[in-house]
Amino acid sequence: MGRTLEFFSVSPQEKSMSDLRLDATQLDRYSRHVIMDEVGPDGQKRLLEGSVLVVGAGGLGSPAIQYLAAAGVGRLGIVDDDVVERSNLQRQIVHGDADVDRPKVESAADYVDALNPDVSVETHETRLTPDNVADLVADYDVVLDASDNFATRYLLNDHCVLTGTALSHGAIYRFEGQVTTFTNERTGSSDPPCYRCIFPEAPEPGTVPDCATTGVLGVLPGTVGCVQATEVVKYLIGKGESLEGRLLLYDAMDMSFETVDVLSNPDCPVCGDDPEIESVEDVAYDGTCSLAAD
């Protein structure tokens, strides 16, 4: 089961005092949050002071960016080295026809700027690599993995485990999607799993076709990306039960959701009892993303 994040409760008196932290425009903009006991002005303040790095501004990143910005997450980092193609527009909804050939980070930043002036956007027009992952992830509260390749997923997992950074994972294929959360809060007893515990190695290159080859239902990443954004918002406000320790599986054709319990692997090379990965330099992030050869 996921961890219950019940960090605080706000009394009516405290809520009245907390209202002073938000200006009149913010109280209006976030009023549907403020009136909820589970969020309230203190929770909204946490969102405004929070920071999320979204890796990928495509199918999953688009809805995640939209809803994190609308919720008032104060600082959003967006990492992507690609440009907008017309074939993206069927699902990557922060981009429009006029954005074709523009860098995705620029298009996504313009969308956020128009949506919510409370949100500061930091664009990183680059591909995530072992050389830059530490600098890119540093100073963000949560990482939302909206990437579309295994090398990035394993790199983010390994770095976030090693640094104790919370990570939201999402992936899609044709009509199916999956989501889970890794808080990477490790105490030494009953520690939760990481991505490598669930998927020890990446599939051999070429064995899993991409959406350009097999297609993808346009609305599918909207559902999966919104679930990821929900997990991140709950993490930032410290409320609700996360998907940590559970893998949520979604089938759009059957319109079914299923959660599968996932356990930590004591032999995991990055979070196990005797980890072999002490740095992202220990891994070859190509092929199966296994330990680099000596």
Q: Could you confirm whether 160 is annotated as catalytic? A: no
Contact call for residues 156 and 133 (beta carbons, < 8 A): yes
- Count the residues in the chain: 294
Q: Element (H or E) spanning 258, and its range?
A: strand 256-261
Catalytic site residue from 194, 197, 211, 268? 211
| Helix 220-237 × helix 40-49 angle, to 10° | 110
Q: How many CA atoms lie within 13 A of 261 on its CB side?
A: 3
Helices (H), 146-288: 150-163, 195-198, 211-214, 220-237
Instruction: Tokens for 264, please give them.
Output: 């930590």
> Residue type at 187?
T
Instruction: Tokens for 135, please give them.
Output: 């600098």
Q: What gap in Å lies between CA 192 and CA 194, rounded to an integer?
A: 7
179: closest CA among 246, 263, 93?
246
Using DSSP, state whether 210 is helix, strand or coil. coil
Which residues are designated catalytic? 211
